[in-house]
Amino acid sequence: MRLEDKKRVAEALSEELRGHEIIYLTDFTGLNVKAITEFRARLRDEGIGYRVVKNTLMRRALEGLDLPDLSVHLEGPTALVLSESDPVAPARVIKEFAKDHDDRPVVKIGVVDRREVGPSEIRRMADLPSREELLGSIAGGLTSAAGGMVGVINALMRDIASMIEQVGQKNEAA
């Protein structure tokens, strides 16, 4: 590849990295083409990007970006898992895929909100509930709280009606 082409590819990669808040560097050693294709499809279904990169071009692309120094992790085969905002979804896809493929791909390092995140943190993120599950849980809690308030208001209304009835009965008796 000519120097001009390398610069152009590195600039394009740099632009792509700027557009993503979540970046996971993975080592795909041991995965065949069929497995990588399946992995890409699973990621794509979640709206997550996947790109195999040359380490030298990645080093060039990282220059001038407001990211932690990832160059120490650019050894051996490297692929990027890119997400715009959700760090949990790609972590979950990687973990679930690795279960069936001899713990491959391996996460080298991640960047979440411009902060370096280790493989152990990424594994913990994979165990978190999805955004939809969390929103559902919040909605359920709010619905439950609203239902409880309705019950309390109904009980107060019933008690007030009962008191009015008792006062009426006392007045009739008197």
Distance, CA of 81 to CA of 91 (rounded, Å): 9
Residue that is written with structure tokens 């679930």 in the block: 96
Write the DSSP symbol of residue 19. T
pLDDT of residue 40: 96
Distance, CA of 77 to CA of 27 (rounded, Å): 5
b (16+ CB within 10 A) / e for 5-44: eeeebbeebbebbeebebbbbbbbeebeeebbeebbebbe
pLDDT of residue 161: 81
**Rounded to two decimals, what is the model's pTM?**
0.76
| pLDDT digit string, tens, across residues 90-145 | 999 999 999 999 999 999 999 999 999 999 999 999 988 877 787 888 888 888 87
Distance, CA of 152 to CA of 144 (rounded, Å): 12
